[in-house]
Amino acid sequence: MNNLQFLINFVGYSIILQYFAAFLGRKNCKIFIRDESVRSTRTLQVPKNFTGLGFDGVHWKGYENGKMVYESYSKGVQLKGTNNYCQSYACFMWASGNLRNDRHGVNLEAGKYTDNIMKISSLWVKCLRSLNKKQKARVTKCIYDIDKTMKLKDLLGILEKLSVDESYAMELSCSRESLF
């Protein structure tokens, strides 16, 4: 498994997204993942009044009171046809209330795909560095579950590179997960 696929797998863990949402300023992030046995529709049927992040088996979105509000393609922060940081974007928009996070002074911008990857990656680094000992232990377990050879320092190295290396961030911003 290469580093970018490892990263995408990691940031898709429910507990990891909950840590990220709290870091961004919104606690109690609920996660709803479509039951794999229900394949009759691609539309995610979240519970009435659901507020949190939902995954339909392909794409992450943010919900407020049962309505999909935050979606990276429609907001223009993720290149259509890619499947890379949608969970991070959905979490950022849901926790921030849109494309600006006042707590950290970060704006995502439509059409700025590489810049958005760099900004989100930088926030992930800060988030992971801010975790307490118990949270870091859970993160370490998630990392181990994905790839027994990776460590937290390796994950931070991937994210740090994405936050400063424009060509590396561009690779993620325009890649499909299956190409990693």
Whether this model's pTM surpasses 0.85:
yes
With both helix axes pointing from N to C terminus, report the angle between 133-146 and 3-11 in degrees, rounded to the nearest 10.
Answer: 130
Residue 18 three-state SS: helix
Mean pLDDT throughout 59-68? 94
Predicted pLDDT at 176: 72
Q: Mean of the pLDDT values across residues 72-80?
A: 95
The tens digit of pLDDT for each residue in 7-61 reads: 999 999 999 999 999 999 999 999 999 765 555 455 678 889 999 999 988 889 9
Both structure tokens of 127: 């988030």
Neighbours of 136 (CB within 10 A): 14
Mean pLDDT of the chain: 92
For residues 67 and 48, the answer to whether their CB atoms sit within 8 Å is no
Among 114, 134, 116, which Cα is nearest to 124's? Answer: 116
Closest CA to 175 of 117, 120, 125, 99: 117
- pLDDT tens, position by position, 87-99: 999 999 999 999 9
- Answer whether residue 179 shows pLDDT above 50: no
- Residue 58 DSSP label: S
Range of the domain at 159: 3-179
Residue 118 has pLDDT above 50, yes or no: yes
Number of domains present in the structure of the chain: 1
Q: What is the pLDDT of residue 39?
A: 52
pLDDT for res 161: 98
Q: Tell me what the mean pLDDT of segment 140-155 comes to.
A: 96
126 pLDDT exceeds 60? yes
